[in-house]
Amino acid sequence: MSTPGNRRVHDFAAIGVGPFNLGLAALTEPLEGLDAVFVEQRESFDWHPGMMLEPAHLQVPFMADLVTLADPTSPYSFLNFLKQTGRLYRFYIRENFYALRAEYNQYCQWVAGQLPSVRFGTAVLDAAYDDGVYRLSVSGPDGPEVLYARRLVLGTGTSPYVPEAGADIVAAAAAGHGGVAIHNADYLARKAELQQKRSITVLGSGQSAAEIYYELLQEADVHGYQLNWVTRSGRFFPLEYTKLTLEMTSPEYVDYFHALPQHQRDQLNKNQKNLYKGINPDLIDAIYDSLYTKSLSGMVDTQLLTHSTLTAAEWDPAAGTHTLQLHHDEQGTSYTLGSEAVVMATGYSYREPGFLAGIRDRIARDSAGRFAVDRNYGTGVEPGEIFVQNAELHTHGFVTPDLGMGAYRNSCILREITGREVYPVERSIAFQQFGAPAGVPVEVPA
């Protein structure tokens, strides 16, 4: 930290406090001489509150917490959280590596409450750069303020994504001009309202869609609604989680992926969705078992529709239903589906925050206008100046949103910021090789 004049200049400012930047804050906290500030516009830490379904759990083991894979001795580990809250033995007896999603959220809140560098209720309004220093205009609990930092870490996260074909009904519903049409981010807050309708349609094929469909299926008999599950995928595919596949969440695979040409990386991301967007196999089995059990007393009033892409949607106020226009991609035919309520479990996407406009000339871009993120997670025109968290899917591959790689990425970022390897950075963990063996001639196609 330096203080020219009366200005306090932080070594870095991190914007957005989700799990990744919170992990960076926890790893930064014990480092003497490193001055950082973390700002988040929300009033407190709350991770996907609309999807805190009671039985839902993480898809990665508890060791993929904020700090353990970088520093197993950290006081901010998940195991220490369990110890300090009197639940360690219960977790041990449970004999399950996968923490409940609500439990993970409590853990993150516990960590956030101990870090003085983290400031909630503070929104970044504008950013500028002058003479080696970034200037952030923020609005916090005490009013407008200016923060100064030599580096930035962007962790503003992803936002709910709604396909263009369904955007109108979701926007109209939010404005009170249509029926119930929501993104799954609002599911729990609107669940009771959904269950008052005669029909509900869930769109999506990932874990969130499966969790919502399964929960609504359990209570369909009680409320008497008809339930649909629609996906454009060819099947309700499971998350691939075998051990050799898990080696692809490794430094070596990131090295390999990052070195590929841009067009190849983009194509791989389209083809690898089952590696990070699939459904837990045990949940798929539970859904089938529930359907089978309910079928003993008659066919269940539900439809599971695959290969079906939403092409248009509109609200029919006279009928009180949404009309969904769907295209069966394999048969090449179109059909309609009526539903009083719609849940878009269609995932999340990264959107650049508006304040970056003030420093656009400090950000490196690829040919598609996206962040040109280097191997060490920097995207500034000068190395080691601007870093990103969970905004590098196109450069680093499907491991980008994986909680298990958060500590590794933060170790790399801290190495770049401090100029030393504060936390050992693994370089080789995989048994397999992802590229051609070294020293073997490679034929290049004409």
- What phi, psi does 342 have (nearest 5°)? -135, 135
The 3-class SS string of 233-281 reads CCCCCECCCCHHHHCCCCHHHHHHHHHCCHHHHHHHHHHCHHHCCCECH
| 52: confidence class by pLDDT, cuts 50, 70, 90 | confident
166/154 same-domain check: no
Confirm whether 212 is domain-assigned. Answer: yes
**pLDDT value at position 241?**
87
**pLDDT value at position 181?**
97
Of the candidates 377, 361, 364, 373, the residue with the CA atom closest to the CA atom of residue 412: 377
| 124: confidence class by pLDDT, cuts 50, 70, 90 | very high
195/154 same-domain check: no
Residue 237 has pLDDT above 80, yes or no: yes
Confirm whether 248 is domain-assigned. Answer: no
The 3-class SS string of 159-188 reads EECCCHHHHHHHHHHHCCCCCEEEEHHHHH
State how far the alpha carbon of 32 is from the alpha carbons of 74, 75, 439, in Å.
15, 16, 44
**Structural domain harbouring 361:** 9-159+349-418
97/224 same-domain check: no
If residue 417 lies in a helix (H) or strand (E), which one and from where to where? helix 406-418
pLDDT in tens, 179-192: 999 999 999 999 99
Q: How many CB atoms lie within 10 A of CB 235?
A: 11
Instruction: Count structural domains, the chain.
Output: 2
Residue 3 has pLDDT above 70, yes or no: no
154/166 same-domain check: no
Confirm whether 264 is domain-assigned. Answer: no
* Contact (Cβ atoms closer than 8 angstroms) between residue 398 and residue 419: no
Residue 4 has pLDDT above 60, yes or no: no
Paired tokens of 402: 């994986």
| Strand duo 333-339 + 321-328: pairing | antiparallel
Report the pLDDT averaged over residues 86-114: 96
Q: Which residue has the tokens 């609200």?
A: 315
Q: How far apart are CA 321 and CA 339, in angstroms?
A: 5
311/394 same-domain check: no
Q: Which residue has the tokens 């917490």?
A: 65
- Give the N- to C-terminal CA distance of the chain in Å, as an integer: 54
Task: CATH number of the domain at 87, please.
Answer: 3.50.50.60
Q: Residue 5 gets which letter from DSSP?
A: T
Of the candidates 255, 261, 270, 253, the residue with the CA atom closest to the CA atom of residue 366: 261
* Contact (Cβ atoms closer than 8 angstroms) between residue 228 and residue 303: yes
Confirm whether 404 is domain-assigned. Answer: yes
Residue 392, CB half-sphere, CA atoms under 13 Å: how many?
27
| 440: confidence class by pLDDT, cuts 50, 70, 90 | low
Mean confidence (pLDDT) of the chain: 94
Report the pLDDT averaged over residues 404-422: 97
pLDDT in tens, 172-222: 999 988 899 999 999 999 999 999 999 999 999 999 999 999 999 999 999
Sign of the Cα torsion 265, 231, 161, 275 reads: negative
Confirm whether 114 is domain-assigned. Answer: yes
* Contact (Cβ atoms closer than 8 angstroms) between residue 184 and residue 46: no
184/292 same-domain check: yes
| 444: confidence class by pLDDT, cuts 50, 70, 90 | low
206/294 same-domain check: yes
Helix, strand, or coil here: 225? coil
100/24 same-domain check: yes
Q: How far apart are CA 189 and CA 325, in angstroms?
A: 27
* Boundary (domain end) residue, out of 296, 329, 344: 344
Confirm whether 46 is domain-assigned. Answer: yes
pLDDT in tens, 17-49: 999 999 999 999 999 999 999 999 999 999 998
Q: Residue 310 gets which letter from DSSP?
A: E
Residue 126 has pLDDT above 60, yes or no: yes
Express as a percent the part of the chain with pLDDT over 70. Answer: 97
pLDDT in tens, 78-96: 999 999 999 999 999 999 9
Confirm whether 101 is domain-assigned. Answer: yes
150/126 same-domain check: yes
100/194 same-domain check: no
Burial class (CB within 10 angstroms; exposed 0-12, middle 13-18, buried 19+) of 295: exposed
pLDDT in tens, 287-315: 999 999 999 988 789 999 999 999 999 99
* Contact (Cβ atoms closer than 8 angstroms) between residue 105 and residue 58: no
Whole-prediction pTM value?
0.92
* Boundary (domain end) residue, out of 344, 369, 394: 344
pLDDT in tens, 130-158: 999 999 999 999 999 999 999 999 999 89
Burial class (CB within 10 angstroms; exposed 0-12, middle 13-18, buried 19+) of 392: buried
| Cα dihedral 49, 51, 52, 54 in deg (nearest 10) | 160
105/86 same-domain check: yes
* Boundary (domain end) residue, out of 328, 344, 360: 344
**pLDDT value at position 13?**
98
Paired tokens of 294: 């309910």
Express as a percent the part of the chain with pLDDT over 90. Answer: 89
Residue 275 has pLDDT above 90, yes or no: no
Q: Residue 85 gets which letter from DSSP?
A: T
311/354 same-domain check: no
